[in-house]
Amino acid sequence: MHTTSPALRRAWTVALTVAMFAIGLAMVFPIVWSILTAFKPNAEAASASPTLLPQTWTLENFSEIWSAIPFAQLYGNTIIFAGSVMVLSLAFDTMAGYALARFDFRGKTAAFIAIIVMLMIPYQAVIIPLYDLVHSLGLGQTVAGMIVPRSANAFGVFFMRQFFLALPKNLEEAARIDGASEWRIFTRVMLPLTTPALLTLGLFHFQFNWNDLLWPLVMSNSIDGATLPAGLALFAGQHVVEYGLLMAGSVLALIPLILFFLLIQRTFVTGIATTGIK
């Protein structure tokens, strides 16, 4: 940009702004369209000459979705599943990542390589034995059976390790000289520094499990035990034409994720930058 005139630079900025807004609009178009369709009466949603904006606005779909499928139940299941997995996995990932980053011990390299290999395993490749295992542990068709296998995550361990690697060594030295226990150093000195990383990883865990289709689909043989994406996908398979209803369900399913993201948005890029994933 050097040696360019201010006029040229302004023109460049204007062009960039316009282009970026166009891209931004294109990115959110399917979501905006879903929201608008949720407000259309069913006859209009399935019209042969569709429009973007509803001709008649209605809240019918939002009230009907609760009885069309066990929506409240599905919502509850999804909150319990994604929420518990997030909390448990954050705890275990953080502890394991901390151990791999801040201590020297025999077996550390082996443990780290094992984590990296597990990060590469697509869970679809292990889903059949995992299903068997959960059933043989007596946890088949239970919420716990859905949650427990997800309560530690290789990517999470890797992510937290990167974060802890970036912290200066002298932080814990002082506490150690003062005779603080390792657990106390972890909870009182290191953990308070992890907020941006925890929020970022928390979002990843929450959205991944909130959105997951296959695992809840496999683990619940009835719609009552399923989560929202699985329930909506099953409903979409059986009721192909009720798009207005489906979109209302989808929009309601999106709300917690969008809220979560908007809440942590400020620390989000920092969370990734400070993990040293660079």
Residues 124-183 that bind other proteins (CB under 8 A): 124-130, 132-133, 148-154, 157, 182-183
Among 42, 68, 70, 92, binds other proteins (CB under 8 A): 92
Q: What is the 3-state secondary structure (H, E, C) of the chain?
A: CCCCCHHHHHHHHHHHHHHHHHHHHHHHHHHHHHHHHHCCCHHHHCCCCCCCCCCCCCCHHHHHHHHHCCHHHHHHHHHHHHHHHHHHHHHHHHHHHHHHHHCCCCCHHHHHHHHHHHHHCCHHHCHHHHHHHHHHCCCCCCHHHHHHHHCCCHHHHHHHHHHHHCCCCHHHHHHHHCCCCHHHHHHHHHHHHHHHHHHHHHHHHHHHHHHCCHHHHHHCCCHHHCCHHHHHHHHHHHCCCCHHHHHHHHHHHHHHHHHHHHHHHHHHHHHHHHCCCC
Residues 224-243 that bind other proteins (CB under 8 A): 228-230, 232-233, 236, 243
The residue (of 73 and 257) whose beta carbon lies closer to other proteins is 257
Find where tokens 């025999």 sit: 106
The residue (of 167 and 232) whose beta carbon lies closer to other proteins is 232
Minimal distance in Å, beta carbon 46 to other proteins?
5
Q: Is 253 in the site for other proteins (CB under 8 A)?
A: yes
Residues 64-83 that bind other proteins (CB under 8 A): none
Minimal distance in Å, beta carbon 149 to other proteins?
4
Minimal distance in Å, beta carbon 55 to other proteins?
13
Q: Is 122 in the site for other proteins (CB under 8 A)?
A: yes
Per the CB < 8 A criterion, the answer to whether 239 and 46 are in contact is no
Minimal distance in Å, beta carbon 143 to other proteins?
16
Q: Is 8 in the site for other proteins (CB under 8 A)?
A: no
The residue (of 60 and 131) whose beta carbon lies closer to other proteins is 131
Q: Is 113 in the site for other proteins (CB under 8 A)?
A: no
Among 8, 50, 144, 174, binds other proteins (CB under 8 A): 50
The residue (of 28 and 72) whose beta carbon lies closer to other proteins is 28
> Given the rule CB under 8 A, which of 55-63, 69-77, 259-267 is the region that contacts other proteins?
259-267
